[in-house]
Structure 1
Amino acid sequence: MHVSERLLQLYATLDRQTRDIIQQRIETNLADGKSLAASYHELTGETNDSLSAEEKSATDFSNWLKEGKTDVDLLSYYVALLEKSEVLQSEAVVPQVVESTPQPVAEPIVSKAVVEPSHEETVEPETDTPAEATLPKPRYVPESTIPSRTERMKSHREIKPARPRRKKSRGWLVGLIAIILLSVGGYAAYPMVSDLFKPSSTPTVTEEPATPEPEPVAETKALEEVWIGVKNAPLVSEPDSEDVVYIADIGDRYDVLEERDDALLLELGLNELTGWVSRDEVVTEWTATSISDADVLNWLSTSVNQTLFDESPEAYFGMDENELVGNVGAASGFDSDVLHEYLVYPGLFFTMRNEQVEAIDWSNTDQTKETFLELGEPTYETEDGVVYESDTYSLRLFVGEDDSTRIRLTKLNQ
């Protein structure tokens, strides 16, 4: 059984006066500071090797009680001494009981990185140099003066008539015709002859190898929500940190704010509180509703102790502390963490969130995992936990280290 569950069971069995006596003995013993293992030996006369050798003071223990009991070393030390309450109480003087007021847990402040905008230099284009002006072309001047029309007419008047030509042989005409025919034939044949000596102008086509198209890459959808898949999963302030913010249970659902390598940042849903969890401890796919609301309520009516209730358990969801105490009486114990307050009664406790009842837990029941699975096909199952969900309720069974069982009823979407 996890140490947090042992604490809740001890709160259900030990009255407030006994717990105050033990807390006063612890603060007196740790006044000057010493290791938790040495303090346990001095208070009980016994040795407990599982306790931390780290030195703690009475101030550390007092602050731990007020801040929600998140230090696992002090939690193990405190539970071990509560289990030795008879030894501690037999030697103590009964102190005056002072009720402690739960203190709000400080939220981690996440600094935002300031990114300075980059400035790029602007390069101005160079101005083109204008071209030089072109000099005008000089006009042509003839070497001799052209004769006037009158002078030309005088020259015509002096022209003598031509003498009659002599008859010549017509051989020249035949030669001229032959030349013309050869010229025409050569002109007609020139394109064909010239094509024989011209290089081919047809370009050679080179086939390039076809580039294979890239295979489509499947896009990974960002996670929006996950469910806790293991019992007592620690949510820490940073990945790979030992600073535990909250311990979640199988079947708890959370929204995902950020993904980083093998860790997920979860929104815890109160005062912007967040916590990192390993991917190995969550489930991304959740089975749909497996049983009905009537199945859940009928099973509760015959399988868990309801002597404390005047009405059926579902009537208590949403009640504030005053309404709850008015219906079932004053609680025998009280505890809290960063998300919840717990009102402890014999055999069960109520989990309060935002000052309203969120869940009811029956501890040390006579149910076994085998009998619990007779309800039908579960929504989710592990070696030490089973979850059933209907449209309105989540019904869970947790198995402890000593095979003890705890039943939790939660109302969904409150």
Structure 2
Amino acid sequence: MKEEIRVSRAASRKRKRFWQSVTVVLLIASLVGVIAFAALMDSKKSALPETDDIATESVNSDTESTDETEDEAEADEKDGTYVYIMAPYTKVFADDRVTVIYEADLGDRFEQLEAVSGFVKLQLNEQTTGWVTEEQVTGEATSVSDEDLAEAWKAVVPSADPTTLEWLGQDIASVRATLGAPKAVQRDQVNEYHFYDGFFLMVRDQQVKAIDWDRQVVATPDMTATSGQNAGSWYEGETRQLKLFPYDGVMRVRVEQK
């Protein structure tokens, strides 16, 4: 009986050692598996860019795209198609191309918006557009320097104060603060005309676009005109224009900001 008990205890100890060994092996295997899995995940993580890098690249890309769009818009604005009116008293039509809304002068410069069936659409001011026929406009104009243009203007209006040209391009409110209220104001579909003694201001979009001196002695500057006709002459400068319109033995002289 005692012998059987000893055999049973020995067998029990063997089974216990066996299961202990199995447990240790399983623990070691599990640990190795965890380490291997962690290493695998770490290698995958290192193959991807950091989150901050992705965000930075996205923001930079958007900024560059916005900058390019703004630059393109500015370029488009500067590269707009501009044309010149080729004759005085050119009729400008409404969208029906029948109703006359304005008469443009020789050399008037407008942005061309489109061309349709022999007509071109012009931006007359910030609010108004109109149509003229294609043969009444040109995109080409020979020019001289603004200095030569100013000398030509002095030759035909010698009594004018040279500082008056400084009003060109200024807000009409600031000019009126200097000159005072005009004697009269007239309006058409495109401009306002503010009359003072000896001259009047042509105002477009609240800025002085041109200055006219009426009833001047007929004279011709020593300079080749961009376009010379019986009804008027136009001299193109770098940023300004000189226009002469003779009538009834006198003439109207205009200096206009482009």
Counterpart position of 1:404: 250
Q: In the TM superposition, what is the alpha-carbon distance from 1:386 to its structure 2 partner?
A: 1.1
Counterpart position of 1:269: 125
Distance 2:96 2:118 in 1: 9
Q: In the TM superposition, what is the alpha-carbon distance from 1:392 to its structure 2 partner?
A: 2.1
- From 168, 173, 178, give the equivalent of 1:317: 168
Give yes or no for contact 1:236–1:275 (8 Å, CA) kept in 2: yes
Query: What is the number of equivalent residue pairs in this alignment?
Result: 179
- From 388, 391, 395, give the equivalent of 2:235: 388
Mark the CA change 1:238 to 1:303 in structure 2 (over 3 Å): closer, same or farther.
same
Distance 1:225 1:390 in 2: 15
Distance 1:323 1:228 in 2: 30
In structure 2, the residue corresponding to 1:327 is in which secondary structure? Answer: helix
Answer yes or no: is 1:229 the counterpart of 2:86. yes
Mark the CA change 1:382 to 1:389 in structure 2 (over 3 Å): closer, same or farther.
same
Q: In the TM superposition, what is the alpha-carbon distance from 1:334 to its structure 2 partner?
A: 0.8
Runs of 4 or more above 4 Å deviation = none
Q: CA RMSD in A?
A: 2.3
Counterpart position of 1:252: 108
Give yes or no for contact 1:239–1:263 (8 Å, CA) kept in 2: no
Distance 2:138 2:89 in 1: 14
Q: In the TM superposition, what is the alpha-carbon distance from 1:249 to its structure 2 partner?
A: 0.8
Q: TM-score, length-normalised on structure 2?
A: 0.62
Distance 1:313 1:319 in 2: 11
Counterpart position of 1:191: none
Give yes or no for contact 1:239–1:277 (8 Å, CA) kept in 2: no
Unpaired segments of 5 or more residues in structure 1?
1-222
Mark the CA change 1:314 to 1:255 in structure 2 (over 3 Å): closer, same or farther.
same
Mark the CA change 1:409 to 1:332 in structure 2 (over 3 Å): closer, same or farther.
same
Mark the CA change 1:323 to 1:246 in structure 2 (over 3 Å): closer, same or farther.
same
What are the Cα deviations for residues 222-241 of structure 1, in whole angstroms up to 9, with x where unaligned?
x9432111111111113551
What are the Cα deviations for residues 44-82 of structure 1, in whole angstroms up to 9, with x where unaligned?
xxxxxxxxxxxxxxxxxxxxxxxxxxxxxxxxxxxxxxx
Q: In the TM superposition, what is the alpha-carbon distance from 1:366 to its structure 2 partner?
A: 0.3
- From 283, 291, 296, give the equivalent of 2:138: 283
What are the Cα deviations for residues 189-236 of structure 1, in whole angstroms up to 9, with x where unaligned?
xxxxxxxxxxxxxxxxxxxxxxxxxxxxxxxxxx94321111111111
Distance 2:149 2:234 in 1: 12
Mark the CA change 1:227 to 1:313 in structure 2 (over 3 Å): closer, same or farther.
same
Give yes or no for contact 1:351–1:360 (8 Å, CA) kept in 2: yes
Answer yes or no: is 1:344 the counterpart of 2:190. no
Q: In the TM superposition, what is the alpha-carbon distance from 1:380 to its structure 2 partner?
A: 1.8
Answer yes or no: is 1:357 the counterpart of 2:211. no
Distance 2:88 2:81 in 1: 22
User: What amino acid is aligned across from residue 275 of structure 1 in structure 2?
Assistant: G
Distance 1:367 1:329 in 2: 30
Mark the CA change 1:356 to 1:396 in structure 2 (over 3 Å): closer, same or farther.
same
- From 127, 146, 150, give the equivalent of 1:297: 150
In structure 1, the residue corresponding to 2:178 is in which secondary structure? Answer: helix
Q: In the TM superposition, what is the alpha-carbon distance from 1:383 to its structure 2 partner?
A: 2.2
Whichever structure has more strand as a proportion of its residues is 2
What are the Cα deviations for residues 10-69 of structure 1, in whole angstroms up to 9, with x where unaligned?
xxxxxxxxxxxxxxxxxxxxxxxxxxxxxxxxxxxxxxxxxxxxxxxxxxxxxxxxxxxx
Give yes or no for contact 1:385–1:397 (8 Å, CA) kept in 2: yes
Q: In the TM superposition, what is the alpha-carbon distance from 1:274 to its structure 2 partner?
A: 1.4
Q: TM-score, length-normalised on structure 1?
A: 0.40
